[in-house]
Amino acid sequence: MLRDITLGQYYQTNSLLHRLDPRVKIMGTLVYIISLFLFRNLFVYLVVLGCLVSMIKLSKVPFSFMVRGLQPVMMILFLTVICNLLFTKGTVVYSVWLITITREGIELAFYMTVRFIMLIIGSTLMTLTTTPTQLTDGLESVLSPLNKIKVPVHEVAMMMSIALRFIPILMEEADKIMKAQLSRGADFETGNIFHRVKGMLPILVPLFISAFKRADDLAMAMDARCYRGGEGRSKMRPLIYKNVDRRAYMVMIIYLIIIVAVGVFV
Amino acid sequence: MRMIVDHISYTYKENKKPTIQDVSFEIKEKEILTIIGQTGSGKSTLIQQMNGLLRPDTGTIYYHGKDVFDKDYHLRDLRSKVGLVFQYPEYQLFESDVFSDVCFGPKNQGMSKKQAELKAFAALRMVGVPEELFYVSPFELSGGQKRRVAIAGVLAMEPEILILDEPAAGLDPQGRKELLSMLVKLKEEKNMSIVLVSHSMDDVAEYAERVMVLRDGKIAYLDTPKNVFSHKEELEAMGLSVPQITHLMYSVRAAGGMVDVNCHTIAEAKEAILKLYGRG
Ligand SMILES: Nc1ncnc2c1ncn2[C@@H]1O[C@H](COP(=O)(O)OP(=O)(O)O)[C@@H](O)[C@H]1O
Ligand SMILES: [Mg+2]
């Protein structure tokens, strides 16, 4: 039931993208996101799309996996499209009763949709090809300059990795609790909104209790192994750039140049 | 015949291999049927099909002759007649006091407050929760007491078939004994059919009328404990075992005592050993 969410999940295979250094992938995703928002130009999007498709091919992750990641956000996307269509002012192309649709509205809705979908697929691609541990190691390393201005980077990274680690566990738990309450005749589907919110309590209360208990246990286990934050802590597998990673950075720079060139001249 | 499970197969979406393969059996009135099998053999999956939480890909289940996966059959009716106690059921407690938590099931069945409270009272009595604990928060109880309260939560719905997934896991020997004798009592006094997933061969030998052995989602054996435990080698190959006392009888035999090794309860073993000394 709740297992369909792919955002923040890892897909195990052996591809070039899987082997890249996480820092490269984080920077790459950042470059990709910037390129999405730099220009509002159809040709730029074609280049971006081409890159995205080749990255998906390179990653060896089945395309259906990415689409599954899109499903939960479809509703939000749909709402933004509707709002953009209905409430953007400009040249009217179609008008019925209270509804007016403008040229600018259509354009805005189109670009919103394209950006949104490509944004989600691009970032899903990163989490699908990077294990949570690698991801947080990479983030910690990329963000480490912030240590200078007293941002607790290690602690934030640790919190993130714990959160990511617990998503599947809590989902499984929610599934189990839900089944247990269904067996006791609980009803989550019928009734008005108040009824339904109240119907969620038999799931939420046990879920929170078990989450707190797990957090307690984990804190205890970390204490028992003398964890005391990031200071002076070394890594079992430090991140080291290889040749592929350097080449990947080159590709990123070339990509940015192409995007800017297309955006400015075409 | 209360329930007939008819050639069901089931594969989880995320797996390729089927978890349940072509399983058929029936549940009789007033019996204790135990299910044993290695971890991952599909026990928990199988019992979730039996109250409609998971729908088999092929095959079906009949409850009192009706196909429970028919469009006009309400699974909620099935679930109130086929009670399922999950592994570690204490995690499903959520109300602010023990008594209201046990009332949750009967209230969902549409009973009045008064009726539900009567059922809850009877169920808590049945599992041996003392009255002074009725109005404390379930989260303040000990592990064993929580387990009892959770079981009472299902018993209060007065099911005809009670399915329990490893209910004795993590209980102390005393608690385990009390739990098992409670199950026997439920069978005898309330005519319930009990389906018990268990890892203790000793318990199985002592309490079960029939044993189902699952191997990779298929039924390897479905017979009386006596017949099933006579397949010592096959069971051991599956990562299971025979009751302790049967091991003892094999040792006696190996040491030269000509006893019948096919003894699975202490009473049987006593007979056999006494007979060996000519005092049977
Ligand atoms: N919710 C689930 N999603 C996917 N696979 C599952 C799920 N639950 C169990 N399985 C798989 O089904 C098989 C049988 O599991 P289970 O029924 O829990 O066995 P048992 O209770 O005998 O240990 C296992 O291989 C397990 O990986
Ligand atoms: Mg199990």
Q: How far is B58 from chain A (nearest CA, A)?
A: 20
Return the pLDDT at B45.
96
- The full set of domain ranges for chain A reads 1-130+245-266, 131-233
Q: Predicted confidence band at A5 (pLDDT cuts at 50, 70, 90)?
A: low
Q: How far is the C-alpha of A248 from the C-alpha of A127, rounded, in Å?
A: 18
A210 to chain B, any CB pair closer than 8 A? The answer is yes
- Tell me the CATH number for domain B3-225: 3.40.50.300
| pLDDT, tens only, A139-174 | 889 998 998 898 888 888 888 888 877 888 888 899
User: What's the gap between Cα A247 and its chain centre?
Assistant: 25
- Name the burial class of residue A224, with classes exposed (0-12), middle (13-18) and buried (19+) by CB atoms within 10 angstroms of its CB: exposed
Distances in Å between the Cα of A14 and the Cα atoms of A19, A61, A86, A128, A140 are: 7, 10, 46, 12, 24
Q: How far is B157 from chain A (nearest CA, A)?
A: 8
Q: How far is the C-alpha of A175 from the C-alpha of B48, rounded, in Å?
A: 13
| pLDDT, tens only, A31-45 | 999 999 888 888 899
Nearest to A185 by CA among B62, B146, B72, B102: B102
Full-prediction pTM beyond 0.90?
A: no
Q: Tell me which chain A residue has its CA closest to the CA of residue B138.
A: A206
Return the pLDDT at A73.
81
Q: Tell me which chain B residue has its CA closest to the CA of residue A210.
A: B91
User: What's the gap between Cα A120 and its chain centre?
Assistant: 6
Q: Give SS3 for B197.
A: strand
Q: Which ligand is nearest to the CA of A178?
A: 1
| Residue contact A180–B89, C-beta within 8 A | yes
Return the pLDDT at B280.
53
Return the pLDDT at B213.
96
Strand blocks (E) in A149-227? none
Q: Predicted confidence band at B15 (pLDDT cuts at 50, 70, 90)?
A: confident
Distances in Å between the Cα of B107 and the Cα atoms of A67, A243, B131 are: 41, 66, 21
- CA of B14, closest atom in ligand 1: 4
Residue A190: pLDDT over 80? no
* DSSP bridge pairs for B27: B3
Asked if residues A48 and A263 have their Cβ atoms less than 8 Å apart, the reply is: no
pLDDT > 70: percent of chain B: 99
Asked if residues B98 and B57 have their Cβ atoms less than 8 Å apart, the reply is: no
Task: Give the distance between the most distant pair of CA atoms in chain B.
Answer: 66
Q: Give SS3 for A20.
A: coil
Asked if residues A22 and A134 have their Cβ atoms less than 8 Å apart, the reply is: yes
Strand blocks (E) in B123-271? 161-165, 193-197, 210-215, 218-223
> What spacing in Å lies between the alpha carbon of B68 and ligand 2's midpoint?
23
Q: Predicted confidence band at A180 (pLDDT cuts at 50, 70, 90)?
A: very high
Compute the radius of gyration of chain A from its Cα atoms. 23
